Amino acid sequence: MVLNQATLKRDGVQDYVSLRTTALVIAAYAVFIVGYLLLTPELTFEAWKGLFSNLAVKAATIVTLVCIMVHTRIGLWQVLTDYVKSSTMRSVLGFVLNLMALAYVAIGLFVLWGV
């Protein structure tokens, strides 16, 4: 049985849709946070703690963190394949930068659930 190699990899349409979807989620979350900042008369630690202790805000933050990671991974892959010609350097940079994106999400979750 012969497998088509193209079916085992991402395609441009999937990347395009993923980038646009994650960008919309990130933008919606940013609008929510900016709206909260503008509408809160006095911004204190208790106000922030009250906002992020809400389960819906925690869920939205988790979804946004994962969207940031997906957006970053696709963007880094596109930039690295376009501008880094050495496959070894591209692999090392891709690994390190993807590890940083994963660490960003892990630290975000640690901070978020610590509230």
pLDDT band at 12 (very low <50, low <70, confident <90, very high): confident
Spatial CA neighbour of 18 closest among 61, 60, 67 = 67
Q: How far apart are CA 60 and CA 22, in angstroms?
A: 13
Q: How far apart are CA 73 and CA 89, in angstroms?
A: 16
Is residue 3, in this structure, part of any structural domain at all? Answer: no
Q: Is pLDDT at 8 greater than 80 in this prediction? A: no
Enter the pTM of the model.
Answer: 0.82
Annotated binding residue at 16? no
C-alpha Rg value of the chain to the nearest Å: 18
When pLDDT is averaged across residues 76-91 and rounded to a whole number, the result is 92
Summarize pLDDT for 13-41 with one digit per residue, the tens. 888 999 999 999 999 999 999 999 999 98
Is residue 63, in this structure, part of any structural domain at all? Answer: yes
In percent, the amount of the chain with pLDDT more than 70 equals: 90
Is residue 40, in this structure, part of any structural domain at all? Answer: yes
Is residue 6, in this structure, part of any structural domain at all? Answer: no
Spatial CA neighbour of 36 closest among 10, 18, 56 = 56
Q: How many domains does the chain have?
A: 1
Is residue 1, in this structure, part of any structural domain at all? Answer: no
Query: What's the mean pLDDT when you consider all of the chain?
Result: 89
Annotated binding residue at 29? no
When pLDDT is averaged across residues 54-79 and rounded to a whole number, the result is 94
Structural domain that includes position 78: 14-114
Is residue 21, in this structure, part of any structural domain at all? Answer: yes
Is residue 105, in this structure, part of any structural domain at all? Answer: yes
When pLDDT is averaged across residues 69-89 and rounded to a whole number, the result is 92
The CATH number given to whatever domain includes residue 93 is: 1.20.1300.10
